[in-house]
Amino acid sequence: MRILGLDYGSKTVGVAMSDELGITAQPFRTITRKEENKLRRTLAEIEAICRDYGVETIVLGWPKNMNNTEGERTQKTAEFCEMLKRRTQLPVELWDERLTTVSSERVLMESGVRRENRKEVIDQIAASLILQGWLDRRGREHGEDHI
């Protein structure tokens, strides 16, 4: 059973994937597009990943503002969420993504990744943090202790 994590942005979607046991999240890839509203190819790529890897659930980052309000980005994410559900026929769960990009940048800096190379993987790292947070919560709710 694999879970897919997504960090949906205006021009990119960071993709992360769980291991088969649903314990850990790993960066997978970044899907890019030229225009924000051109989502057909993006949705087709996500659908293919789900099919090829036996994904059972998608976790989508929910971009709330720091003051816990919802803005324009949350509306676009909600629309993308509905498109994902229709296209993949899979459950899509939303996960608070506040500070994941900041945390991703910090992880990459501490790992010694050069500034010019960070852009290539930052969305994947953010997707991994989103997915790992969701996996950890699910493990706690089910009383699982994997450590």
Give the residue extent of every domain in the chain: 2-141
What is the predicted pLDDT for the residue at 102?
63
| Average pLDDT per block of 10 residues along the chain, 147 residues long | 94 95 94 90 97 97 79 90 97 85 68 68 88 88 60
What is the predicted pLDDT for the residue at 104?
66
What is the predicted pLDDT for the residue at 145?
53
What is the predicted pLDDT for the residue at 144?
57
Cβ(123)–Cβ(13) below 8 Å = yes
Superfamily of domain 2-141: YqgF/RNase H-like domain (3.30.420.140)
Q: Are strands 2-8 and 12-18 parallel, antiparallel or unpaired?
A: antiparallel
What is the predicted pLDDT for the residue at 116?
66
What is the predicted pLDDT for the residue at 147?
44
Q: How far, in Å, CA of 32 to CA of 72, rounded? A: 20
Cβ(47)–Cβ(64) below 8 Å = no
What is the predicted pLDDT for the residue at 64?
78
